[in-house]
Amino acid sequence: MSDISTVLQEHRVFAPPPDFAKKAHIGSLEQYRALCAEAAADGDAFWAARAKEELHWQTPFGQVLDWKPPHARWFLGGTTNLAFNCLDRHLPKRAAQEAIRFEGEPGEVRVLTYQQLFEQVCRLANALKALGVKAGDRVGIYLPMVPEAAIAMLACARIGAVHSVVFGGFSAEALRDRLADAGATVLLTADGGYRKGAVVPLLANARAAKAAGIPTLQHTVVFQRLPQAPALVAGEHDWAALCARASADCPPTWVDSEHPLFILYTSGSTGKPKGVLHTTGGYSVWASLTTRWVFDLHEGDRYFCTADVGWVTGHSYVVYGPLLNGTTTVIYEGAPTTPGPDRLWQLIAAHQVNVFYTAPTAIRAFMRLGDEHPRKHDLSSLRLLGSVGEPINPEAWMWYRDVIGQGRCPVVDTWWQTETGGILISPLPGATPTKPGSATLPLPGIFPEVLDQKGNRVEVGAGKLFVTRPWPSMLRTVWGDDERFQKTYFAERPGLYFTGDGARRDADGYFWVIGRVDDVVNVAGHRLGTAEIESALVSHGKVAEAAVVGRPDALKGTALVCFVTVKASVEPSEALAAELKAHVAKEIGAFARPDDLRFAAALPKTRSGKIMRRLLRDVAAGQDSKQDTTTLEDLSVLAALRQDDE
């Protein structure tokens, strides 16, 4: 494939440290291979055994899998409850153990034991019931990274309500679109949250979202995070007051294995975000199992994942996976460099973190800031390091291993997606030899393949990444749009799940995920659809047309470059460029603010009118932006002469 070529040649291999392997849940390549062979030989038996080991089933399941591509149903007839599995079943042993260890950006520490978390979840669950929430109803969650975010998710799961968490960095407009699409009846939010020393105005955004029209929304529950209690208006309720009135006794609602658990919106290649739907049984089994396998959790561990609950990593590996395993999950509210560039290292030392999981963008940023910041802190509690969200370049991987892990900690580069629910390709730290920059091998039960344009299997080389067999935590559909689900994920090769990623397989069968092959970009670990940014730009009155592409960026992985044509009477200017960037930040969120915005007289198009993105990507990657405008016009002419579409 011409557009998926890699020049990376990385030959370093790191074997798992022997003393790590000795204690690991999966401690050798043989053990890993045996599990893979078991799954390959009899998938139903393999998954049935895993499902029984990981979860309490109130009613046992019968049939393991019903697979009518592209629709899968897992653990049929079984009933369970995710909150029960995260909380109640641990209480006999762990009531007094820390479940959540929280530090706010301003520095206050709050600890919730399993017993305390259980009680708070039950109270909120009863409060939701009192507001009329029933099993299957959708509840929006728009909170800062405080324990209440986890409490909110668990309370929904407890009563069978379907949560849809919206990242606190999203704007009022983005919040409205998501809540309206999900048909949320209740929104759980806060008056604000702390980030980079400032207050994120969550309640103001929630009010603006509601005012813009969310027909189903009846109640807003407001958690007070800021010193001054907010003045609430009709339809708004104080979180603490509601919970104080509610009973701490709330029996779990046993739901069918395929009962919807959550909807999480993610970007695709059209302007409208997709509501990825996950269901209860299969998702829980895989979240639980992968957390233990990949992070090799042991009794007494403190585990810290820096992701926000607004993203899937926060769902599976801040809240559900660690709690299913009875671990202590460390939650940090704020920015990684507030108040100083050593904030995360200070947190690791202060909370004696054993397992740390973050994104390559953060690793690269810290690498630039200098080794003196981590060196100031005692990082000797660390045993294992993880990376997620985008390809990690070998240089950053080596720095992570040497400077943060002090050469002692294995690094697990975990590949997965919102749609996959949990990690699919990753080293097992006690078993898999790692290569810097490679997510290595699929987990047992997962069958990925690299296929070429014709759909042939690529043994060694690059192509598109597919998953060829269903797995329990795969998305079930796109909320309200099953046709889009089928088209996006199963049209490329019928019956095979298409990831949207390009990947290379090396001679050892290792996977090197290169990046997206569709119009989705990964900016600083945040997944964005270029079409979303384009529709935000054209919603501005002065813009006629816009095309957005990614440009490789040493720090953010990808930077956003926008090409804009303005309406006839409008004069392009620096000021207008700044205004348009701010407009995108307002429409979507500050994290989507374009890095570069260039005006063009016309956008290069094929005869059939398709914007020539590949050419724009080349132009964006070029240095001289003044030159680019002319280049663009030349390209338009060239394009018009071309017979075929790009």
279 binds ligand PRX (CB under 6 A): no
354 or 522: whose CB is closer to ligand PRX?
522
79 binds ligand PRX (CB under 6 A): no
In the list 79, 253, 280, 522, the residue contacting ligand PRX (rule: CB under 6 A) is 522
Provide, rounded to whole angstroms, the least separation between the CB of residue 519 and ligand PRX: 12
127 or 549: whose CB is closer to ligand PRX?
549
How far apart CA 49 and CA 480 sit, in angstroms, is: 33
Q: Are 142 and 202 in contact (CB under 8 A)?
A: yes
424 or 548: whose CB is closer to ligand PRX?
424
Q: In sequence order, what E strands does 368-468 have? A: 384-388, 411-414, 448-451, 461-467
391 binds ligand PRX (CB under 6 A): yes
DSSP 280-310: HHHHHHHHHHHHHHHH---TT-EEEE---TT
Please say whether the dihedral angle defined by the alpha carbons of residues 134, 135, 137 and 141, taken in this order, is positive or negative.
positive
Stretch that binds ligand PRX, among 30-38, 248-256, 411-419, 583-591 (CB under 6 A): 411-419
Q: Are 558 and 522 in contact (CB under 8 A)?
A: yes
Stretch that binds ligand PRX, among 127-135, 320-328, 410-418, 548-556 (CB under 6 A): 410-418
78 or 472: whose CB is closer to ligand PRX?
472
Provide, rounded to whole angstroms, the least separation between the CB of residue 515 and ligand PRX: 6
Q: Are 421 and 283 in contact (CB under 8 A)?
A: yes
390 binds ligand PRX (CB under 6 A): yes
308 binds ligand PRX (CB under 6 A): no
Site string for ligand PRX, 527-566 (x = CB under 6 A): x---------------------------------------
In the list 224, 361, 417, 558, the residue contacting ligand PRX (rule: CB under 6 A) is 417
Question: Three-state DSSP class for 500?
Answer: strand
Token pair listed for 162: 């379907």
Token pair listed for 38: 């078991």
How far apart CA 641 and CA 639 sit, in angstroms, is: 5
Token pair listed for 442: 């699929």
137 binds ligand PRX (CB under 6 A): no
185 or 426: whose CB is closer to ligand PRX?
426
273 or 341: whose CB is closer to ligand PRX?
273
Cα dist from 489 to 73, 452, 483, 494, whole Å: 17, 16, 10, 9
Question: Three-state DSSP class for 311?
Answer: coil
50 binds ligand PRX (CB under 6 A): no
Stretch that binds ligand PRX, among 5-13, 169-177, 510-518, 584-592 (CB under 6 A): 510-518
157: exposed, middle or buried (C-beta count within 10 Å: 0-12, 13-18, 19+)?
Answer: buried
429 binds ligand PRX (CB under 6 A): no
In the list 99, 353, 513, 536, the residue contacting ligand PRX (rule: CB under 6 A) is 513
Provide, rounded to whole angstroms, the least separation between the CB of residue 438 and ligand PRX: 9
Provide, rounded to whole angstroms, the least separation between the CB of residue 276 and ligand PRX: 8
473 binds ligand PRX (CB under 6 A): no
Order of strands, edge to edge, in the sheet holding 511-516?
Answer: 448-451, 461-467, 497-505, 511-516
How far apart CA 259 and CA 282 sit, in angstroms, is: 10
Q: Are 308 and 167 in contact (CB under 8 A)?
A: yes
Q: How many CB atoms lie within 10 A of CB 75?
A: 30
Please tell me the count of residues contacting ligand PRX according to CB under 6 A.
23
Site string for ligand PRX, 232-271 (x = CB under 6 A): ----------------------------------x-----
Provide, rounded to whole angstroms, the least separation between the CB of residue 409 and ligand PRX: 17
502 binds ligand PRX (CB under 6 A): no
DSSP 455-498: S-B-SSEEEEEEE-S--TTS--EETT-HHHHHHHHHSSSTTSEE
358 or 636: whose CB is closer to ligand PRX?
358
In the list 74, 320, 415, 510, the residue contacting ligand PRX (rule: CB under 6 A) is 415
Q: Which helix (H) or strand (E) holds 359?
A: none
501 binds ligand PRX (CB under 6 A): yes
In the list 312, 446, 517, 592, the residue contacting ligand PRX (rule: CB under 6 A) is 312
User: Which parts of this chain interact with ligand PRX (CB under 6 A)?
Assistant: 266, 311-313, 388-391, 413-418, 439, 499-501, 513, 515-516, 522, 527
